[in-house]
Structure 1
Amino acid sequence: MQALEDLDYLAALDNDGNLSEFGIIMSEFPLDPQLSKSILASCEFDCVDEMLTIAAMVTANCFPHLPHGAEEAALMCWKTFLHPEGDHFTLINIYKAYQDITLNSTSEHYVEKWCHDYFLNYSALRMADVIRAELLEIIKRIELPYAEPAFGSKENNLNIKKALLSGYFMQIARDVDGSGNYLILTHKQVAQLHPLSSYSITKKMPEWVLFHQFSVSENNYIRITTAVSPELFMQLVPQYYFSNLPPSESKDILQQVMDRLSPVSTMKQEQTTCEKCPETTEQRCTIQ
């Protein structure tokens, strides 16, 4: 029942409980529904190239692990790839560095040694390369729009967050006391950021984060996190999902944000946007 509810929130089901047209397109991707939704959202937000890299990297489990006995050395190497916007962006940095080494080297042994020196999983990165190529083929086969890479620009950073939120709005947590204790919105579990999160390393804890995975261990960890604003969250989350969130201080804060983003102000913003943007006949995939 939870799985059906999640698919419904993602607009993958119609009123009869069958796959919607949107859900049928999502099912073309051999990925978790949240990732599929984020990829389709990236078509609308002009960040398909970056989202495919993220999808491949998390699917191949390329997030590094601290090797026993070499923690400090691994952290120093990991800092090379850190991105201030969060872990999803850091994974893109890792993949781009791996690609550069691969393209500029004729020796597979050299690439493997580079991965070893930087405490990266060579096999996982190779698998990410394969997965990304397969996802790109699917994009081309079903003729979805594919924008040119723009990683690094402020607009692109925001668009990546929008695409991620479109799929992962059910996986949001808030730092409730300013010391890194994150309360997950959907239930009352409190978790810590993974020690290898870019925010844990830089000691800059954002108040609101989107996370890819929640693992119950000796310490509850949320893994692969990226900072989001409550305003952006409320612009993209389905209202029927928000109305079903359990009562909490976080929900009260989001309600205040929603009250500020009133229909009147939203309508004025849309009218301003339409006046500034020229008409276009280009077909785009629209996120429900």
Structure 2
Amino acid sequence: MTRLSTAVRGLMTTLAALLAVTSVSATARAETAPKAPADFVALRSVDPTILQEIRYFTPHNFVGAHIDGYRQPMCILTRPAAEALHRAQRTLLRQGYSLKVYDCYRPQRAVDHFVRWAEDLDDEAMKAEFYPQVDKSRLFEDGYIAEKSGHSRGSTADLTIVRLPARPTRPYRPGEPLVPCYAPRDERFPDNSVDMGTGFDCFDTLAHTLDPRVQGEQRAHRLLLKSTLEDLGFVNLAEEWWHYTYKPEPYPDTYFDFPVSRKSLAPARR
């Protein structure tokens, strides 16, 4: 055997070894990817009639970009929370309405994405819609952004009510002119939900559920959502008309980080 052929064989052996190591490493990463506990479910498997518009899978949010951890536009919740929403949906359907969720379980990596964005004071691409009257340097102090979120515990959902039959909401076009989230309904970004007085994720005191400036039909819609959900064990966050947590939470002290994806759930729970 010549020196050249020996060298070639040695190189091929080295490459094969490197490929084997890479393959083993990839397999190990796949096996150790975080998964949801057994009692987390896709909301659609519990109630396929509840509408879903998962905003953080899209760029139409206060960051203006797809958020880390949202691999699919789907709602994942603990089973008790999902079943309670199913009961709420049955109540609302009899009245000609449907629930619509904007966000459900939120991985810690998504919360970390929010924190990084909030610390970058130069990035105000979506300010004109989502926080027109709030100085970005105050987002932590004013409680709009935090390093932990109850959503990561799996029993919190952001949601609204839609009058049936539901009309589709047009997709957001990045770069389109922005309108304040508290503007009159006909002026702000279109949403097929009933008028709640502000859009979802509006960083403004007008988004407080019982803000006295919100009256008439807008207040009635907020109270309909509130009473329907509270009768079934949900608790509202007073600063956000859309934010509800099912109590008692199965995981009151655990903040999960598995991705929002069908692969995070066992096949029977997708």
Normalised by the length of structure 1, the TM-score is: 0.21
Normalised by the length of structure 2, the TM-score is: 0.22
More helix by share: 1
Max Rg structure: 2
The higher-RCO structure (CA 8 Å, 6+ apart) is 2
